[in-house]
């Protein structure tokens, strides 16, 4: 028997490589370190950036590679790797939403669809990303759950349970929870075990984490989209069916 359309929908997003491309944060962090080295240690513009980006492209630790490069050219920085990592994680990133993502969020907000973010990561780093992307214009701060602040990763149901508590599904009003992510390794477990619609945003070739990995059924998304326009159309169809 086919279920009737839901009475209400709640959208839950992963952050990195879902609402924006994580590689953009990586590039922003490398640019930040490069600028500091130029200003404080006299390296050439783009020198450090190119070393780090080349290491990243080859799957090598970029901080180790940059430290070796700096040593080779006679630049000594106390606790160099610790300094690099701290600057990388805490810098204010240069990020922006794609037009398609922004248009989808604007439309969902206009429709009155409640939206949430559940993301793994450090509080300061993730909040800097959210501020840079201006996601708070669409998703209130109280609807954003970050693993460091929660004390557990997204594979823990705590954040999802809080969302269900705020928007409970009952016999009189059926709520459909829609979780959109990119990483089958950990994004969809909680959604699937709670009867949510799990949606995989397919990699356009620039994602950090691979999607072609073997996972059991409880980790597999139920629905696949190439673009947010497909999600927008689905939500719109459900509301106005």
Strands laid side by side in the 223-225 sheet: 144-146, 115-119, 8-13, 175-181, 197-201, 223-225
Q: Which residue has the tokens 């709640």?
A: 10
Residue 241 has pLDDT above 60, yes or no: no
Residue 1 has pLDDT above 50, yes or no: no
User: pLDDT at position 173, please?
Assistant: 84
**C-beta atoms surrounding 98 within 10 Å:** 13
**Tens-digit pLDDT profile for residues 25-34:** 999 999 999 9
User: pLDDT at position 140, please?
Assistant: 97
**Tens-digit pLDDT profile for residues 90-117:** 999 999 999 999 999 999 999 999 999 9
| 29-34-39-44 Cα dihedral, nearest 10 degrees | -170
**Tens-digit pLDDT profile for residues 131-156:** 999 999 999 999 999 999 999 999 99
User: pLDDT at position 2, please?
Assistant: 43
Q: What confidence category does residue 239 fall into, taking pLDDT thresholds of 50, 70 and 90? A: low
Closest CA to 95 of 199, 209, 19: 19
Residue 218 has pLDDT above 80, yes or no: yes
Residue 175 has pLDDT above 60, yes or no: yes
């Amino acid at each position: 028997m086919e279920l009737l359309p839901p009475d209400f929908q709640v959208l839950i997003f992963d952050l990195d490589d879902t609402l924006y491309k994580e590689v953009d944060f990586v590039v922003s962090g490398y640019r930040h370190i490069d600028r500091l080295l130029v200003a404080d240690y006299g390296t050439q513009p783009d020198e450090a950036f190119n070393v780090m980006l080349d290491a990243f492209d080859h799957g090598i630790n970029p901080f180790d590679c940059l430290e070796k490069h700096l040593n080779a050219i006679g630049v000594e920085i106390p606790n160099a790797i610790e300094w690099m990592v701290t600057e990388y994680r805490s810098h204010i990133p240069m990020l922006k939403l794609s037009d398609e993502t922004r248009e989808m969020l604007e439309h969902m907000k206009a429709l009155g669809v409640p939206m949430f973010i559940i993301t793994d990561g450090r509080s300061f780093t993730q909040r800097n990303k959210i501020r840079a992307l201006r996601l708070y214009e669409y998703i209130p701060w109280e609807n954003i759950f970050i693993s460091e602040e929660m004390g557990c990763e997204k594979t823990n149901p705590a954040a999802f349970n809080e969302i269900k508590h705020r928007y409970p599904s009952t016999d009189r009003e059926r709520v459909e929870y829609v979780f959109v992510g990119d990483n089958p390794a950990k994004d969809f477990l909680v959604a699937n075990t709670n009867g949510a619609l799990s949606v995989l945003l397919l990699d356009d070739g620039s994602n950090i984490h691979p999607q072609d990995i073997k996972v059991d059924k409880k980790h597999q998304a139920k629905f696949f989209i190439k673009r947010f326009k497909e999600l927008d159309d689905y939500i719109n169809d459900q509301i106005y069916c």
